[in-house]
A and B are shown apart, each in its own frame.
Chain A
Amino acid sequence: MSCGMVFDISEAAIHDGPGLRTTVFLKGCPMRCRWCHSPEGQSPEQEMLLLPDNSQRLCGKLFDAENLARYLRECAALTPDGGITFSGGEVLMQSGFVLDLLSRLDGIHITVETSGAGKCQDLLDIAEKCQLIYFGLKIIDPADALHFTGMSPEVILENLFALDRCSQTRYILRIPLIPGAIATEKNFKALMELCFKLKRLHSIEFLRANKLAPAKYASCRRKFAPEFAACRTGEVPDFFAPPQPFSILF
């Protein structure tokens, strides 16, 4: 049986899919987005967090698939029109564990949140077994993406097209409105162009920037150096008119 590293579980979450969700946050992410509001989810290892009151908290817990699945089945039993959501960190970094879990969660509505940064086959295998994917797209220009997310977007975009082409699972783009980084004229134009090429994209959901993110960096003994105005949220420009419906959440 496989094991996986989880940094948080949120019961009765309301932002992560239909109905009430139990959201599992998997630890470890290949990206280093400067606005990341879960910096404690980036490292795949356990780490000791330093809390504002100077106490410490061990972040990261190893679960075996059956124990976690049993707990998730119990949660799901109370949320008949909701289900389970896997988020991160990056789900694709622990794809074997996730697939093992999914095989133990038959009949439960599964949502997966991914940045697409991982192996294409992993994404398609997971898509096969879930009902909804939130694809967390960020920056399309390679140089800008590398600067702000620590990763060039080619793999992510290839995976997005593969998902569009090869899978049947409904997917929604989820894009945080980070001013000066994501919510720029240049990026919105590229995004709109991209949307016209996607055949199966269901809709686009923009998320307002999370203003609480900076506080968490100190806990991870890291500096929050965003190079953008972290205290405000970006806007969707008037010219943005993709063929799919879009909305702004939260």
Chain B
Amino acid sequence: MDNLISTMYEQTRNGFYRNYRKGMIPAETIAGFYHTMSPYQAAVNALKMILEQETPVIIEGEHFHFTRTLAGKAIPPADAGRRVENLTPDWEILLRDGINGRLEVIRKKLETPDLEPESIEFLRASGEMLSAVCDFAGKYADAAERSGNTRAAGLLRKVPAMPPENMHEALQSIYFVFSMLHLTGCTLLGFGRMDQYLYPFYRQDIDSGTLTRQEAAELLEEFFIMLNRENDIYGMLQRGDDGESLMLGGCKSDGSDAINDLTLLLLEVSEKTAMINPKINLRVNSSTPENILQAALKLAKRGLGFPQYCNDEVVIPALVKFGYPLEAARDYTVAACWEFVVKDGRDIPNCASVNLALAADQAIRSALREKQSFRQLLENIRCAIRQQIPHPFPVLLPNPLFSAFSGKCLERGKDIHRGGGTHYHYGIHGCASSTAADSLAAVKKLVYDEKSIAPETLLAALENNFDGFAEVQMQLKNAPKTGNNDPLSNEMLNFIFTAFADAVDEVPPDGRGGRIRPGTGAAQNYVMMTRHPDHPYYLRATADGRKEGEFFSSSLSPAPGVRANGILSIFHTYGKLPYDRVCNGGPITLELSPAYFRNGDALARGTRIIRAFVLAGCQQLQMNVLDREKLIDARKNPDQHRDLVVRVWGWSGYFTELDKEFQDQIIGREAYGA
């Protein structure tokens, strides 16, 4: 088994499985379907066409089966509408019903009198897609039989058609349907709370003696490696930006502790596999056991850039305040990166991004020009943010296959994108918050309070990108900075997020109860908004002393070049944010020096950092190890650092596979705890 796993690891890393890809998904044909027929029919026809062209691949020895033979994404054309992305199917529905059970729900629902024509079309489309997936699994089983692999044939005859009866079958069912969803054009899919829905199978296998804990670990390891097989296809902006998040820990819907032996085992397996997928998330609270936190920290020590920690004590009340039912909120997971998702709905948690520093900059410049008061300056910000919020909301494209594994879509006879869900909210990232707050703090202190910089001088300095204004730039750089728990910068940071939440509240609902959830994440925008002048929210020099072309920080973090007092001050700074109003997620991004883990009891001490994060009332945390020397060397000698992983924004990637500008931003981050 160990030999199989190391071969699979090596072949995944060296791209061996790409040799199976003999053709390309015909993007034009898919676009043609969506341009000439109803979106339901288009989804059916596109999937059927792709599955006809896909060839089964059975690899001797492997326990999980599906390997792409067609390269390319199956994404529907953008002009047809917004596809399903950044969402996690309800995997427990698949495990409970199997595809046959879902087909049965459809059959019964179609017998309902007076169904609306669109419901009939949706249900039929969903049925056709589910049947196509079953038929395709049958083709895989035939191929397994032909190659004499009776074990694989038996497995593929059973799942995903029927409900699995052990952990191996459950994982194969999930892997197969996950792959099929990618073939319908879904992207950035998640695996949700695997330690919860997989636990009954694990428990039963262990109790019945059919699987040892070690064998379960090996199976999970193999499954984890499979999640890296096609990630060159699934990645969006960069390789690794492909979702595949997995949530562990936290509480159950009734509020009781959800941690079980699988929570620990999945952490252990992730450390052993040490690949970028799946991205581990851990829900924590004041009483999360020490052994779970230590197991989690081992992943950070290993340099994987995860887990990402979510503080249930902040997240759940915020989701409830936003309007989700308590039991559903307690069952939250994350989308691709950090966006909280609640089941039985179709939130678009990654709908758009606003540049908070741009809004602050516009307000600052106009106040300086018009000689307005600081109070007036602050009032201008809300309007400036409001202008960046997209309206109307995007048109949504049905996905009848995804809908079959989402809440009560089939039971309601409605697609996830056509009213099948119970909630339809929109997440918007709030980027560049530290640059925004630092700019406001500098202007308040130096222009308005101390009057040591004249308004026209600051305007000229900004216009000239500080060329000839070195003195002014130095004054601005020495002003209070976010991350130091300084009263003025804290006040500005809270103001900027409150203004964001206020601006969002002004947007009228979408008519289906959909509202906007503002968040604290930055996603790729720390590069796109600072280095790509064609970005609509590109921002030049800012009043915190930042020159044009210099980056923003990733999500919640002191601005690049700012070295904060330390980890505790950073937690105090971010623990004061109005998370009950900005609840879309977006983590504190904290880099630790590798020296931090050199000491023998570093893991035991490191758990105190996570506890301090919870105690400070922060919402979400990524804690990564940043070895700057190694990164610089990796740039020079990429071959020797092929497996070096870094946290990019809400995901981890292989450093040498990133574009240079993303590498640059990461190298420029501050590492704490040396």
Contact = CB atoms under 8 A, between A and B. Distances in A.
Interface of A: 9-15, 19-20, 22, 74-75, 77-82, 249-250
Contacts of A12: 566-568, 608-609, 612, 672-673
Contact of A74 (B485, B567, B598, B599): B485
B343 interface: no
Interface in B568-624: 568-569, 571-572, 596, 598-599, 601-602, 605, 608-609, 611-612, 615-616
Contacts of B571: 78
B147 interface: no
A19 B608 contact: yes
The prevalent SS among residues of B at the interface is: helix
A20 B605 contact: yes
A248 B609 CA distance: 25
B565 A78 contact: no
B364 to A, nearest CB: 28
A2 to B, nearest CB: 22
Nearest to A77: B615
B612 A20 contact: yes
B599 A78 contact: no
Interface size class of B (residues with CB under 8 A): 20 to 34
B608 A81 contact: yes
Contacts of A13: 673
Given A9-B565, A12-B567, A78-B568, A250 B599 contact: yes
Ranked nearest first, the 7 interchain pairs of A and B with the lowest CB-CB distance are A11-B566, A78-B612, A14-B605, A12-B567, A11-B568, A20-B608, A75-B568
A77 B614 CA distance: 12
19 contacts: A9-B565, A11-B566, A11-B568, A12-B608, A12-B612, A12-B672, A14-B599, A14-B601, A15-B599, A20-B608, A20-B609, A74-B485, A74-B568, A78-B616, A80-B611, A80-B615, A249-B599, A250-B598, A250-B599
Contacts of B598: 250
Given A19-B608, A20-B612, A78-B616, A14 B602 contact: yes
A206 B569 CA distance: 31
A80 B608 CA distance: 9
B301 to A, nearest CB: 13
Contacts of A249: 599
B568 A22 contact: yes
Contacts of A77: 615
Contacts of B568: 11-12, 20, 22, 74-75, 78-79
A205 to B, nearest CB: 13
Nearest to B596: A14
A11 B599 contact: no
A11 B32 CA distance: 59
Nearest to A11: B566
Contacts of A82: 608
A131 to B, nearest CB: 17
Which of B596, B605, B616 has the most C-beta atoms of chain A within 10 angstroms of its own C-beta?
A: B605
Interface of B: 485, 565-569, 571-572, 596, 598-599, 601-602, 605, 608-609, 611-612, 615-616, 672-673
Nearest to A19: B608
Contacts of A79: 568, 608, 612
Contacts, number: 56
A249 B602 CA distance: 12
A185 to B, nearest CB: 28
Contacts of B673: 12-14
Nearest to B674: A10
B608 A11 contact: no
A14 to B, nearest CB: 4
Contacts of B611: 80
Given A11-B565, A11-B567, A75-B569, 10 more contacts: A14-B601, A14-B602, A14-B605, A14-B673, A20-B568, A20-B612, A22-B568, A74-B485, A78-B572, A249-B599
A86 to B, nearest CB: 16
Contacts of B569: 11, 75
Nearest to B597: A14
Contacts of B609: 12, 20
A12 B616 CA distance: 14
A12 B566 CA distance: 7
A113 B145 CA distance: 72
A79 B612 CA distance: 6
Nearest to B565: A11
Nearest to A23: B566
Nearest to B571: A78
A67 to B, nearest CB: 12
A22 B605 CA distance: 13
A74 B608 contact: no
A102 to B, nearest CB: 20
Contacts of A14: 596, 599, 601-602, 605, 673
A150 B601 CA distance: 35
Contacts of A75: 568-569
A77 B611 CA distance: 11
A247 B388 CA distance: 60
A250 to B, nearest CB: 6
B10 to A, nearest CB: 36
Nearest to B592: A12
Contacts of A19: 605, 608
A246 to B, nearest CB: 16
B205 to A, nearest CB: 39
Contacts of B601: 14
B386 to A, nearest CB: 35
A79 B599 CA distance: 19
Contacts of A9: 565-566
A77 B568 CA distance: 10
Given A20-B609, A79-B608, A10 B572 contact: no
A74 B602 CA distance: 23
Nearest to B608: A20
A82 B611 CA distance: 12
A249 B598 CA distance: 11
A158 B611 CA distance: 42
Nearest to B484: A71
Contacts of A22: 566, 568
B566 A74 contact: no
Contacts of B616: 78
Contacts of A74: 485, 568, 572
A174 to B, nearest CB: 15
Nearest to B572: A74
A15 B673 CA distance: 11
A136 to B, nearest CB: 19
Nearest to B485: A74
Which of B569, B571, B609 has the most C-beta atoms of chain A within 10 angstroms of its own C-beta?
A: B569
Contacts of A78: 568, 571-572, 612, 615-616
A79 B596 CA distance: 17
A13 B672 CA distance: 10
B380 to A, nearest CB: 33
A143 B672 CA distance: 41
Nearest to A12: B567
Nearest to A82: B608
Nearest to B601: A14
A80 B286 CA distance: 12
Nearest to B564: A11
A81 B599 CA distance: 18
A120 to B, nearest CB: 34
B551 to A, nearest CB: 20
Contacts of A10: 566
A249 B601 CA distance: 10
Contacts of B572: 74, 78
A12 B598 CA distance: 15
